[in-house]
Structures are given as structure tokens and as C-alpha cells.
Amino acid sequence: MGEEPFDIEDLVNIGRIKGPCPYYMSRELHNSAEILFAPYNYLIEQENRKSLTGINWENTVLIFDEAHNLEGICADAASFDLSSSLLSACIAEAKECVDLASVFRTTNNSADASVDPENFAILKALLLELDKRINDVPLSSDMGFTKPGAHIFEFLADIKINSDTINMLLDTIDNATNLLEDETNIGSVKLNKRPGNASRLQVLRDALRVVFRGKDKSHAACYRLHIHEPYVIDADKGSRKGKGRTLSWWCFNPGLAMEEFSQLGVRSVILTSGTLSPLSSFALELKLPFSIRLENPHVIGPDQIWVGVVCTGPSGRPLNSSYRTRDSLEYKLDLGNTIVNFARIVPDGLLVFFPSYYLLNQCIEAWQMPNAGAPQSSTVWERICKHKQPVIEPKESALFNHANEDFVTKLNDATSSGAVFFAVCRGKVSEGLDFADKAGRAVIITGIPFAMKTDPKA
């Protein structure tokens, strides 16, 4: 294999020529590697971390690049959502295991306790009861059902899932997933799942391990239990239809995921990013003491940048992007005229960020509307295009590369005075792209994407 480091493309090419599967090849190679590059979730999510077999975490140094995303990723890794479709799939797999275990015992004349069909029948009955328990919870209008995190123990205890029974339940789920994955045990029973798909029971198992992660229940204070029922609106009938309920257990303390590294004996955790400041609040969120901190001055001097707030548009209307005012046509037109003025005086590349795709599309539609009082006059959109060639960030990820290439082409077009990229906060444009020099001479943020007041996580 040589001494050079391998990326995924190298491993794929070697696999095509010499035969080994790139995935299993990388798993074998990482056991002897001194430096291992991996996505965040391979380190933070407990089940993914277990897949990194052979790694001695004692005295390991972990380096997280772009660590400004770490808080959200840690909180998400310690949370879970159990949808009705997931539970239905788990129930179907439990029933499948009853059939498989019965065939296995008959065919092999085996009394192996790990393939006892009675245990899988109990698992199926338990899942049916859990699904019923979730659907019996009274929901308050669109806000759903929300309780402190510790309520989940009372909720699960009603169906006999508690600290006394959890280990037996987890063992049964592990036996079920092993049975589903072991093709030699299938016999004449046909599995109702696509080849290569992971068992949905594994997702349930991981969720239960999050709940019963320690000997005590103190971690539940960092959680909220929420049950809600998403719905779709039938435009023809003017009614809405539920899509099935979801039980969520959301973590609001990213430090829970990070403290596991201390328990593993990790020597150092190094976080790097250009946007970590202020470090004090960041360290407080992650519940880790950072005894060594380095905050460098920015490469751009204070005399090279201006940051300001434009409170009103050309007509004097407040540029307020709050929920109350953002749907106002007057607001959209005044915002558009403000962008026209910036497009006229800012050279080269201009970036404009909106709180959401909805508001981005609504504003552009308003700017493209002809003026009812003066139909012959140019629209706001036409005046923007007079100064900058526009590019709109697509919602579909597959179309983003084309949009980015379009922006670069228009930016370098010698026949125009630059380009404007209309994008969304926390979208593709705002993360990971470098708009250096002429690509980003000015950035306009039209509003901050605050959560709606009806958001149960808010």
C-alpha cells in the first residue's frame, strides 16, 4: 500500500484494481494510523464512535475544525425523534423476527435463547403499546405536548420500560438486529426490507440508550420531551391531514456529548474556527475547561471594513424583517430599493442574505411586479439587474454548484459591474465558501432567522 496517506478516492481506485472493499479497507487501515480524518458524527455520536474499532482513546488528541458548528451537532447527537413510520417499521421487523426465529428453531432444532420467538413477540407487543401510548397523549392545538425531560421515564414506565427492564430489552433488540442481518438464518422466510438497509430497530435501540445512558437520571434535566403531529394541507378540500405523531427527546446541553471524551481518557480537545469568539460563552456551552486559548487579530484591519445598521429605506420606512412586518409589500419594495442603491455604489460582488427561502422568494416576486401606478417604469428587479447580474441560491442542494459557477462567471464578466448573490442565512452560501476579494465586497443581512414563537424548541 505504500507510506502515503489515502483519501476515499484513492481507496476506491485501489479497490477497483485489486479487489478489496474500500469501506473495509479503510476500517482495517485506521487501526494502524497515527492521524485519522473523520466527520464530526464519527466522533460525537456514540454508536458511530464504536465503529472505530481498535482505537485507543487514552491520551488521544482530537482536533475539530470549523468548530463553530460543534454546539448544534453535539446537541443533535444527544437527541432523537421517534416517528410513527419508524415505529411501524420496528413493529414489522419484530414480527419478522418472530417468523425467522420460529423457522430457525424448527430447522436447526435449537434452543438458543438469543433466537427465542417468544422474546420477539414480547418486543412486538411492547412496540405496539408504545405506539398506542404516543397516540393517546392529548395534544394542544399546533403546539403539541411538551414536558420536562424527566417525564420520559414516567412515560416509558407506563409500558414497563424502566431501569430494571432496559438491559433485557436492549439485549432482545440486539438479538433481533443480528437475526435480521444474518442471511444464514433466513431459511424460507423472506425479509420485507431492501438489501443493504440497516435495521430500524437499531435506531430505537440507540434512542433508548440515550435515555438510559447513566446510572442516575440527572442528564434528563438538560432535555425536553415533545410529542407533535405534523400535517399536510389538502388545497382541494381545504382541510389538513395528520402525518402520524413523533416523540422527540431534545437535548439543550451540548456538553453532554463532549463530556464523554473526558470519560474516554482523551488528552486534549482542540477547537479551531474563524468565528468562535467570544470563547468564554462557547466554553460554557460545551462544559469543557479550555485552559489554553488563542484569539488572533483579524487579517483585515479596522480601516478596511465598515459594519453598520441601515434602519430605514429610501422612502423612510423601517427595514424591519420581523414576523409582523416582513409580509408587507411596502417593506419588500423599500428593501429592494435599498439593495438597488447598494448595487449601484458597491463594486464587483455583493452578497444579500435573507432569514429564509420563503422570504427570499417573496421579496424577489414583489420586486419583479410592475408598478401599478406607473406601468411603464422599471421594476425594482430590473433596476437591480442594471447594476449587478443576479444569482439566486437554490433550495435544492443538487443545483447549488451550478448557481455558484454562475456567480463566478457573472462576477468575471467584463461587460458588467459585478454580480449579486441572493442567499439564505445558514444555507449553502453562508457555510464553507470563500468569497475573497472581489467576490464579496459587501454583505447585506436583511434579517436574522429567529425561530418562530410556535417552535417548540424556542
DSSP string, 43-91: HHSHHHHHTSTT---TT-EEEESSGGGHHHHHHHHT-EEEEHHHHHHHH
Residue for cell digits 473495509?
24
User: Domain for residue 289, yes or no?
Assistant: no
Residue 132 has pLDDT above 60, yes or no: yes
One domain for residues 212 and 322? no
182 and 87 together in one domain: yes
Q: Does 19 share its domain with 107?
A: no
Residue 183 above 80 pLDDT? no
How much is the pLDDT for 239? Answer: 52
pLDDT of residue 2: 59
Q: Does 230 share its domain with 308?
A: no
Write down the pLDDT at residue 186: 52
Q: Which three cell numbers stand for residue 395?
A: 433550495
- How far is residue 305's CA from residue 259's CA, in Å, rounded to a whole number? 39
Q: Which of residues 450 and 115 earns the better pLDDT score?
A: 115
Q: Please indicate, yes or no, if residue 44 is contained in any of the structural domains.
A: no
Whether 71 is in a domain gets the answer no
Q: Say which residues have a Cβ less than 8 Å from residue 428's Cβ, sequence separation at least 6.
A: 393, 397, 400
Clarify whether residues 245 and 356 are in a common domain: no
Q: Is residue 280 part of a domain?
A: no
144-154 pLDDT, tens digit per residue, is 899 999 999 99
Residue 95 sits in which domain range? 80-252
Looking at the domain assignment, is residue 87 inside a domain? yes
In-domain check, residue 324: yes
User: For the residues 127-153, what does the mean pLDDT come to?
Assistant: 92
Specify the range with the lowest mean pLDDT, choosing from 186-195, 238-247, 282-291. 186-195
Q: What is residue 107's predicted lDDT score, i.e. its pLDDT?
A: 81
My answer on whether 27 and 134 are in the same domain is: no
Q: Are residues 91 and 193 in the same domain?
A: yes
Of 216, 236, 252, the domain-final residue: 252
Interval 147-167 mean pLDDT: 96
* 206 and 333 assigned to the same domain: no
Q: What is the number of domains present in the chain?
A: 3
Answer whether residue 398 is part of any domain: yes
- pLDDT > 90? residue 282: no
Residue 273 lies in a domain: no
Beta strands in 318-445 (DSSP E): 348-354, 389-392, 418-424, 442-445
Determine the straight-line distance between the first and last CA of the chain, rounded to whole angstroms: 51
Q: How does pLDDT run across 308-349, given as a tens digit for each residue?
A: 999 999 999 999 988 888 889 999 999 999 999 999 999 999
C-alpha 188: how far from chain center: 40
Tell me: do 22 and 109 sit in the same domain. Answer: no
pTM of the model: 0.75
Contact assessment for residue 157 and residue 163, using Cβ atoms and an 8 Å cutoff = no
Q: What is the DSSP string of 162-231?
A: STTTHHHHHHHHHHHHHHHH-GGG-TTPPPSS-TTPPPHHHHHHHHHHHHT-SSSSGGGGGEEEEEE--E
Let me know whether 349 and 207 are in one domain: no
Contact 144, 456 (CB under 8 A): yes
How would residue 69 be classed by pLDDT, with cut points 50, 70 and 90? confident
Mean pLDDT of 291-310: 88
Res 360 pLDDT > 80: yes
Query: For position 143, what pLDDT does the model report?
Result: 78
pLDDT at 289 over 60: yes
Confidence of residue 188 (pLDDT cuts 50, 70, 90): very low
Say if residues 229 and 246 touch (Cβ distance below 8 Å).
yes
Closest to 409 in 3D by CA, of 435, 430, 389: 389
Q: 297 vs 84, which has greater pLDDT?
A: 84
316 and 235 in a single domain? The answer is: no
Residue 28 sits in the same domain as residue 85: no
What mean pLDDT is predicted for residues 18-35? 80
Mean pLDDT for the stretch of residues 29-54: 82
The reported pLDDT for the residue numbered 235 is: 47
Predicted pLDDT of residue 126: 97
| 3-state helix/strand/coil string of 327-354 | CCHHHHHHHHHHHHHHHHHCCEEEEEEE
Q: What does the mean pLDDT of the chain come to?
A: 86
Q: Give pLDDT tens digits for 85-122.
A: 999 999 999 999 999 999 888 887 777 888 899 999 99
Are 344 and 418 contacting, i.e. CB atoms less than 8 angstroms apart?
no
Mean pLDDT of all residues in 352-361: 93
pLDDT at residue number 30: 77
| Of 424 and 262, more confident | 424
* pLDDT over 50 (residue 397): yes
Q: Give the pLDDT of residue 308.
A: 94
Residue 230 has pLDDT above 90, yes or no: no
> Are 71 and 254 in contact, with CB atoms under 8 Å apart?
yes
Does 27 or 425 have the greater pLDDT score?
A: 425
pLDDT greater than 60 at residue 38: yes
